[in-house]
Structure 1
């Protein structure tokens, strides 16, 4: 005789687990176990019972580990565990029953959510993860199927800590096999490196993309394709992620040290919910303690992950080792709003630095003078960088080895291979302010940057001053140069408009973020 069924789920079960819990419907099945709706006969309430598969790798230990992980986390957006029981060699975790399907169900049945709903979910999950991380618990399998959405209340609940890692424990895969969902797994875990809270935050970035578009940005037709997408391919968030792009880009930084932190991401998402736009990350951010898998522990402070960067210019070779010319249009096209004014025949430049900048062939442009800038006091720059007091009236921190060049309007710091181009321009404030200037530059993007695409301008602030951020991709000024990505931020301060930008090959965008982060955070106008 077949088991009775429940209209709300799969077949029911006539067992009475631990003399108390009677399954009434199967709610779902995963790699580690089957989840049942059950009636608690003792307390007269509905619960969820997770039955661990006997071949899941030590079911009793797994059940105890998962229950212990969740029991440590007291948070409204984390599933509540009521009990752990064993019967007939099987282990069961008894949890609160959340009436409603998972985010995966929501996406499959009704399609993607809007940006406001995705932001709300993100805030809830960041709160849950932050609480777990403070307890030394890493979830390690954050994906839409493990996020429940309660009917009626909209409550977001993080569940399934089945492969969570706790202080002093091994993972469920005792043989060292990979555990997790590849499309939502951070690259450092894919590569076998130590994982920390940052790995869960990467997973959240992928989950936000899935919530907004319907699938992970790393979805491919094969496991090999997924691995390549996560570890190597250019990261292209879906177009639907545009409203939350600063958060998504920050969470999907392949370098876990530079990855957006939970406090930053929460602040940005709350700003979006309140205002309908996502600002740049506040640069007053103080890194929180990182949690190692052996328990709470502090790590060296890191620089704030840059959600924005700046775009710069290309230095091109003229005749002779000490000759340089500037392309007629800088990467941003904006350069303060009138980059085309720099066009004209190239002229020989004078090199006054101790070593000339690396230069490459290209069309002639405005005169460039390569000069040495005054170093700031030692010990103020992070490793691999130097802080300079620029003769044009400001100081900032730039990568070691970058060479300063100028024309009559702008200052540039260029990497030895010419791949990274950092630019700065100072001018009097103009009508329309930074936002108006950037919108005009965006409108003219196709005329200043070949193959201009994916342009976006958002209003933001820089250290309390009105600012605007412009981001876009383009084809580069030559086939040899290849596709590039540009970040540009401009702001008004004390009657002046400051513009800082960086441009880099698309495949090296993560490095560009770090260079920009350091430069913009350290930028100080002279008194």
Structure 2
């Protein structure tokens, strides 16, 4: 029993930061998920403090988001260690689905992507950058609901520079190249990780999967993604999401327009890159076409003798 209220029933997940339990909330008579934050004995005092800091950040960040595609935070508790009380979503992680069932179809992947994208857009509107989007942090509910979880590495867009140790925290296979280069964290970095996660969902492996972390980071900063063999209609949007230059990645709205028809089994319409240079060229082309049209009309009037 935690805090005289939450009765732990069974472990339902674990990771580097601790263990997640299915628990009964005896006060409200509902099931909840409780994350137990564990610190190994060998971790120095500053490391222990850092884990507490991350726990508070995860709870506060999650509490400010209210969206069906983001896990809801109910409470945070302190006993001899921190606990985060969250909504319980009967589910499997996307990672577990891929391992157990194999790669998803392009249509199924697109539906998962739309749910992830909706959660990320809600976070970005609130000024929150997730920074750890990966298959392990995406829940696929038994009812099909897609939920983003684990905001322990999240930052606010207005936060100051990150601590040096924070720059490369996360899973190397899903970290955007600019985070490796200079520690940048923007909505575009989350969209790169979205692309890498959807690539893994449809291909069964990450786009830069290598035997070692060093090999992964080296490939990430210098090589194109591994060739896609199963992505089909998803390939163009995944290629653009995985563009090494964040300025060339599509905006969230454009990604949604790509994914919607694929999710329903249709072929997407080719989408023009959202590039300011191309938009400027289009305006110039329209202006030239308008000038030619007016000039042609005036010439026709002169030829008819109306201006004689």
Q: Aligned residue for 2:124?
A: 133
Give the Å deviation of 1:175.
4.1
Give the Å deviation of 1:169.
5.1
Q: Aligned residue for 1:30?
A: 15
Give the Å deviation of 1:53.
2.2
Does structure 2 retain, via aligned residues, the 8 Å contact 1:163–1:172?
Answer: no
Q: Does 1:200 align with 2:198?
A: no
- Matches for 1:112-511 after TM superposition, within 5 Å: 112-151=103-142, 153-166=143-156, 175-176=165-166, 178-274=168-264, 276-282=266-272, 303=275, 382=277
Structure showing the higher helix proportion among its residues: 2
Give the Å deviation of 1:171.
8.8
Aligned counterpart in structure 2 of residue 74 of structure 1, from 61, 66, 75:
66
Structure 1: unaligned runs, 5 residues or longer: 1-15, 286-302, 305-381, 383-396, 398-516
Paired positions, count = 282
Give the Å deviation of 1:166.
2.2
Does structure 1 retain, via aligned residues, the 8 Å contact 2:243–2:249?
Answer: yes
Q: CA RMSD in A?
A: 2.4
Q: Does 1:41 align with 2:32?
A: no
Give a deviation string over 1:434-488, Cα, whole Å, max 9, x none.
xxxxxxxxxxxxxxxxxxxxxxxxxxxxxxxxxxxxxxxxxxxxxxxxxxxxxxx
Q: Aligned residue for 1:98?
A: 89
| TM-score normalised over the length of structure 1 | 0.50
Structure 2: unaligned runs, 5 residues or longer: 40-46, 293-308
Give a deviation string over 1:17-40, Cα, whole Å, max 9, x none.
111112211112112221111111
Distance 1:522 1:27, change over 3 A: farther
| TM-score normalised over the length of structure 2 | 0.84
Give the Å deviation of 1:519.
6.5
2:230 counterpart SS class: helix
Q: Aligned residue for 2:53?
A: 61
Does structure 2 retain, via aligned residues, the 8 Å contact 1:33–1:53?
Answer: yes
Does structure 1 retain, via aligned residues, the 8 Å contact 2:9–2:22?
Answer: yes
Query: Is the radius of gyration larger for structure 1 or structure 2?
Result: 1
Give a deviation string over 1:172-226, Cα, whole Å, max 9, x none.
9674452111100100001124220000000011111100011111100111110
- Cα distance between partner residues in 1 of 2:48 and 2:122: 27
Does structure 2 retain, via aligned residues, the 8 Å contact 1:62–1:172?
Answer: no
2:113 counterpart SS class: helix
- Cα distance between partner residues in 1 of 2:284 and 2:192: 27
Distance 1:518 1:234, change over 3 A: farther
- Cα distance between partner residues in 1 of 2:205 and 2:236: 19
Does structure 2 retain, via aligned residues, the 8 Å contact 1:84–1:93?
Answer: yes
Structure showing the higher strand proportion among its residues: 1
Q: Aligned residue for 2:303?
A: none
Give the Å deviation of 1:76.
0.7
1:22 counterpart SS class: strand
Q: Aligned residue for 1:300?
A: none
Give the Å deviation of 1:259.
0.9
Does structure 2 retain, via aligned residues, the 8 Å contact 1:101–1:149?
Answer: yes
- Cα distance between partner residues in 2 of 1:50 and 1:521: 53
- Cα distance between partner residues in 1 of 2:158 and 2:282: 41
